[in-house]
Amino acid sequence: MNRIDKKNFFDLTFAGNQKTSSMNTTTLAKDLELSRIVHGHWRLAEWNLSGQELLKLTEQAMEQGITAFDHADIYGDYRCEKMFGDAISLKPGLRRDIRIITKCGIKLVSARFPGRKLKCYDYSFDHILSSVDNSLTNFRTNYIDLLLLHRPAPFFNPEEVAKAFSHLKKEGKVLHFGVSNFNPLQFGMLSAYTDEKLVTNQVELSPYCLEHFENGNIDFFLKEKVKPMAWSPLAGGRLMNPQDEKGRRIAHALSEVAAELNADSIDKVILSWLLKHPASIIPIVGTGRIDRLKIAAEALHIDMDMEQWYKIYNASTGVDLP
């Protein structure tokens, strides 16, 4: 795939000749590129796929240019990492062509850990290292491309985290690091301690969820040139099947923009809305259906203009710009 032209990502003019169709990858660090769409595996255990079927879905995603796969140690009650690892082990050469993202830090009450009586967060040196070792075993690989801290925690020692990151980098077990659901202050706090640059922050972003436009995170991403990942970019179905007034407003605006763009799917318009933003948002699409992944990939070919972008934004806030 072609290396992305970085100028496109910082073009704040929304120029009409900006074409997302060329944006096949985006650079998070000097030696880390991710596909512009990431395949999310949060619900992988619910897709009821055999190892061979999951391998086929993975290869089909790659044919669409989707080569990054998002996990967490806890997904599927600690099962999803292993399911994916077992699948890709059926074709060992595949590993070099994909990027594996996973998260750590949340401890669930689970039959797999009978001693736990309460859900909590653990970012101690020992737990981070233990989580990574478990993930490596699950994925049947000797390195993780990108490790994220799953959520900010009220009990958090950044020196312990920095020590763990440094150790994992030195050992070659993790190539890059980031966070998930952090606000700008939390991101900056951890960055002040780590030698390793935090390359992303995975947050909830969609036309329905504007939290990170409102809390300063989007401005922070642009300032620090950190490219965020967007979980739940389709708002968990609240835009395709709206259940409240806000959802209905946004769905109406999306339908109007879809008609203007000759887009045959609202999904494409939603993803295009995220992809258009100069913060270089990377949507995570979680589906076990290849037709949905094809629709996501086709969103890269939609060239939304500024008025269309703001029509959707205004529908979400419920008011016109001041």
Q: Are 201 and 178 in contact (CB under 8 A)?
A: yes
Percent of the chain residues past pLDDT 90, beyond the cut? 91
pLDDT at 237: 87
Per-state percent for the chain, helix, strand, coil, to nearest 5: 45, 15, 40
How large is the average pLDDT for residues 219-234? 98
pLDDT band with cut points at 50, 70 and 90 for residue 244: very high
Question: What does pLDDT average to over the chain?
Answer: 92
Q: Whole-model pTM?
A: 0.91
* Position 225, amino acid: K
CA-to-CA distance for 297 and 76, rounded, in angstroms?
A: 26
CA-to-CA distance for 34 and 282, rounded, in angstroms?
A: 9
Residues 147 and 192 in one domain: yes
* Position 30, amino acid: K
Residues 249 and 171 in one domain: no
Domain count for the chain: 2
For the annotated catalytic residues, the residue numbers are 75
Give the residue with greater pLDDT, 1 vs 306: 306
Q: pLDDT digits over 245-270, tens only? A: 999 999 999 999 999 999 999 999 99
Residue 200 has pLDDT above 80, yes or no: yes
CA-to-CA distance for 24 and 26, rounded, in angstroms?
A: 7
The three-class DSSP label of residue 169 is helix
CA-to-CA distance for 215 and 82, rounded, in angstroms?
A: 36
Residues 53 and 158 in one domain: yes
CA-to-CA distance for 112 and 80, rounded, in angstroms?
A: 14
Q: Are 72 and 150 in contact (CB under 8 A)?
A: yes
Please say which residue of 204, 236, 255 terminates a domain. 204
Residues 260 and 293 in one domain: yes
